């Protein structure tokens, strides 16, 4: 039986929500910088807390004028830019949900997201405008003036669109009564099913993420948090922006990670904090240049790697989390020595269970499945959008979230990442379901069966490889079939999901019950 937050339950955010957190910070931190925009082209911009809240309430009023109502959902399809953050918070002021989608999505994926979320309109940028208009048929289409600071090319924006700048012309919207149970946002995340599921956060979830991430990261009002990871994902949303908002700190946003700009931006803004993934650290180290004197006191990442700390002269907090957990149920403490390459220890805010397949708890140096228990609608996501069956099946009989990850319990009490569900890949920080790729490949003429597995990659961690089996006794042009599979994947999947290799085979290895033996395929892919 899972624990759920219900109206009337007392909790840390009773009679509070995100718009009222914004307003509180505007009142007590009004002149302090909240958002700094560091584009690759164009002018650097700074908004104080007071300026940011005023602008966001204007955007909210502009959305209402375009028909957005309490409970509606709005597609926000943007690369990192100020408009992404304004849109996200403006929807919350209206009482609507921002549906933040991966900017690398293709038409088929966008159509699925928009249809599943039943969006009433969309906000995007010039280079995505035609794609969004053609694939989603939104009630309205609002387009930013630039592509993350870069002027758009001629003819890239359809004529029947609205300008984001016009939203700022509205009078600031009045605050509605606070409601922590109201839905706040939707993120589509890959599970082991063939299509991503929409993870719904309510305002209590978002406030939980803000408060707990700020605590886990030891953030304070003097911190400056460099944000270069995608704003459509939980890491940037909760670990960076919401945590900084709760602490009264400053967010420095970039269009994306840039190895050549990292230190210039960090030094100019006196950055003290950033979330980092292995790709970014490896790219910085590969430049083989002296590390400048900097203000960083802490970084956050998926594992504590001593070589990073020594090389960059900064302490790394290690953690583990997922979209469904809002924040980090496993996290290290910079004041307590942790085992290198571990994820940290269970957070006191969650119950953590690591079990063998028979349900018994693991002992030291043993690996098992990772389960997390919290309160649904507070410390765990509210639900999967329009999918009650998937919501219920994601919890076991004792109310623990089934994460699909496997971890090792170290003798020190730290937890170390062991593996993930074998049908899940981690491609450059993006979760990818093998079944999502297999669904597309199976639709290609000349494919009888297929199987997708991960191949190790020095920069991206893993990349997908697909093994394709043609129909029995058929004559197949292997080169043409491979080209057809690649073309179909490129048309239906974001680029990071497209297989890096297509291997046409005479047979697929089998295990018991005639299942495809993916363990053998992983060995073949990594030979």
Q: Rg for the chain (alpha carbons), in Å?
A: 23
CATH code for the domain of 459? 3.30.300.30
pLDDT tens-digit series, residues 292-319: 999 999 999 987 666 788 899 999 999 9
Is 414 contained in some domain?
A: no
Domain boundary among 405, 432, 462: 405
Q: For residue 456, what are the domain limits?
A: 424-525
Q: Which CATH number does the domain housing residue 264 bear? A: 3.40.50.12780
Q: Which one, of 428, 316, 409, lies nearest residue 371 by Cα?
A: 409
Query: Do residue 477 and residue 363 come from a single domain?
Result: no
Residues 379, 259 share a domain? yes
SS (H, E, C) 375-397: EECCCECCEECCCHHHHHHCECC
Evaluate whether residue 275 is within a structural domain.
Answer: yes
Same domain membership, residue 473 and residue 379: no
Per-residue pLDDT at 12: 96
Query: By the 8 A CB rule, do 465 and 453 touch?
Result: yes
Rounded to the nearest 5 degrees, what angle is found at the Cα of 426, between the Cα atoms of 420 and 429? 130
Residues 98 and 179 occupy one common structural domain: yes
Q: How many domains does the chain have?
A: 2
Domain termination site, one of 343, 372, 405: 405
H or E stretch covering 415: strand 415-420
Burial pattern 67-97, b for ≥16 Cβ within 10 A else e, equals ebeeebbbbbbbbbbbbbbbbbbbbbbbbbb
The rounded distance, in Å, linking the Cα atoms of 81 and 49 is 17
Sign of the torsion angle spanned by Cα atoms 87, 89, 90, 94: positive
Domain termination site, one of 378, 405, 432: 405
In sequence order, which residues have a C-beta less than 8 Å from that of residue 212 and are 6 or more positions away?
A: 326, 327, 328, 347, 349, 379
Q: Tell whether 418 is covered by a domain.
A: no
Backbone angles phi, psi at 287, to 5 degrees: -70, -20
Burial class for 104, CB neighbours closer than 10 Å (0-12, 13-18, 19+): middle
User: Using one digit for the tens of pLDDT, what is the confidence trace for 461-506?
Assistant: 899 999 998 887 778 888 999 999 999 999 999 999 999 999 999 8
Residues 326 and 471 in one domain: no
| In-domain check, residue 8 | no
The reported pTM is 0.88
Q: Are residues 381 and 479 in the same domain?
A: no
Does some domain include residue 411? no
Quote the CA–CA distance of 444 and 441 in Å, as a whole number: 6
In a domain, residue 334? The reply is yes
Residues 440 and 389 in one domain: no
- The first and second tokens of residue 287, run together, are 């430049």
Question: Are residues 463 and 383 part of one domain?
Answer: no
Spatial neighbors of 329 by CB under 8 A, at least 6 apart, are 320, 321, 346, 347, 349, 350, 352, 372, 374
**470 and 390 in a common domain:** no
Residues of the chain short of pLDDT 50, as ranges, are none
Task: Tell me the three-class secondary structure of 75-98, residue by residue.
Answer: EEECCCCHHHHHHHHHHHHHCCEE
One domain, residues 228 and 175: yes
In a domain, 34, yes or no: yes
Paired tokens of 146? 């630039």
4, part of any domain: no
Cβ–Cβ contacts within 10 Å for residue 443, how many? 11
Say what the pLDDT of residue 508 is: 87
Q: What is the pLDDT of residue 346?
A: 96
How far, rounded to the nearest angstrom, does the alpha carbon of residue 351 sit from its chain's CA centroid?
23
How far CA 174 is from CA of 69, 170, 184, 316, in Å, comes to 14, 12, 18, 41
432 and 387 both lie in a single domain = no
* 103 and 209 co-located in one domain: yes
Pairing status of strand 383-384 against strand 197-202:
antiparallel
Backbone φ, ψ for residue 440 (5° rounding): -70, -45
How many Cβ atoms from other residues are within 10 Å of residue 112's Cβ? 18
């Amino acid at each position: 039986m899972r624990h759920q937050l219900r109206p009337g339950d007392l909790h840390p955010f009773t009679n509070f929500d995100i718009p009222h957190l914004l307003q509180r910070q505007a009142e007590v931190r009004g002149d302090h910088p909240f958002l700094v925009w560091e584009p690759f082209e164009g002018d650097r911009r700074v908004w104080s807390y007071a300026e940011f809240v005023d602008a966001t309430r204007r955007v909210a009023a502009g959305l209402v004028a375009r028909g957005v109502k309490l409970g509606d959902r709005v597609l926000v399809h943007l690369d990192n830019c100020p408009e992404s953050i304004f849109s996200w918070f403006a929807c919350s002021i209206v009482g609507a949900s921002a549906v933040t989608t991966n900017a690398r999505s293709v038409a088929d994926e966008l159509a699925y997201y928009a249809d599943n979320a039943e969006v009433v309109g969309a906000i995007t940028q010039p280079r995505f405008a035609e794609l969004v208009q053609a694939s989603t048929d939104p009630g309205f289409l609002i387009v930013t003036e630039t592509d993350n600071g870069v002027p758009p090319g001629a003819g890239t924006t359809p004529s029947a669109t609205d300008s984001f700048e016009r939203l700022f012309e509205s009078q600031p919207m009045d605050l509605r009564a606070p409601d922590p149970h109201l839905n706040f946002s939707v993120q589509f995340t890959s599970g082991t099913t063939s299509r991503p599921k929409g993870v719904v956060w309510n305002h209590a979830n978002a406030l939980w993420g803000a408060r707990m991430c700020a605590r886990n990261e030891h953030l304070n009002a003097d911190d400056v948090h460099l944000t270069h990871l995608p704003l459509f994902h939980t890491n940037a949303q909760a670990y960076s922006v919401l945590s900084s908002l709760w602490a009264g700190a400053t967010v420095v946003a970039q269009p994306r990670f840039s190895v050549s700009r990292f230190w210039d931006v960090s030094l100019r803004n006196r950055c003290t904090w950033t979330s980092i993934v292995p790709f970014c650290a490896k790219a910085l180290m590969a430049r083989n240049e002296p590390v400048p004197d900097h203000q960083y006191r802490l970084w956050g990442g998926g594992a504590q790697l001593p070589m990073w700390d020594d090389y960059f002269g900064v302490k790394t907090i290690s953690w583990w989390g997922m979209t469904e957990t809002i924040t980090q149920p496993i996290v290290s403490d910079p004041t307590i020595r942790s085992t290198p390459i571990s994820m940290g220890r269970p957070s006191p805010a969650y119950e953590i269970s690591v079990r063998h397949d028979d349900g018994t708890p693991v002992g030291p140096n043993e690996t098992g499945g990772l389960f997390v228990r919290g309160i649904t609608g507070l410390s765990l996501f509210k639900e999967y959008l329009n999918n009650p069956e998937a919501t219920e099946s994601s919890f076991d009989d004792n109310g623990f979230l089934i994460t699909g990850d496997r971890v090792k319990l170290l003798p020190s009490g730290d937890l170390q990442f062991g593996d993930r569900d074998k049908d899940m890949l981690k491609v450059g920080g993006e979760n990818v379901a093998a079944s999502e790729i297999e669904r597309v490949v199976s639709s290609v003429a000349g494919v009888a069966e297929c199987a997708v597995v991960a191949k190790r990659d020095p920069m991206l961690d893993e990349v997908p490889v697909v093994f394709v089996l043609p129909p029995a006794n058929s004559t197949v042009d292997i080169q043409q079939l491979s080209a057809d599979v690649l073309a179909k994947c490129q048309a239906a999947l974001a680029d990071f999901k497209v297989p890096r290799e297509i291997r046409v085979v005479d047979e697929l290895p089998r295990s018991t019950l005639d299942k495809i033996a993916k363990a053998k395929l992983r060995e073949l892919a990594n030979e």
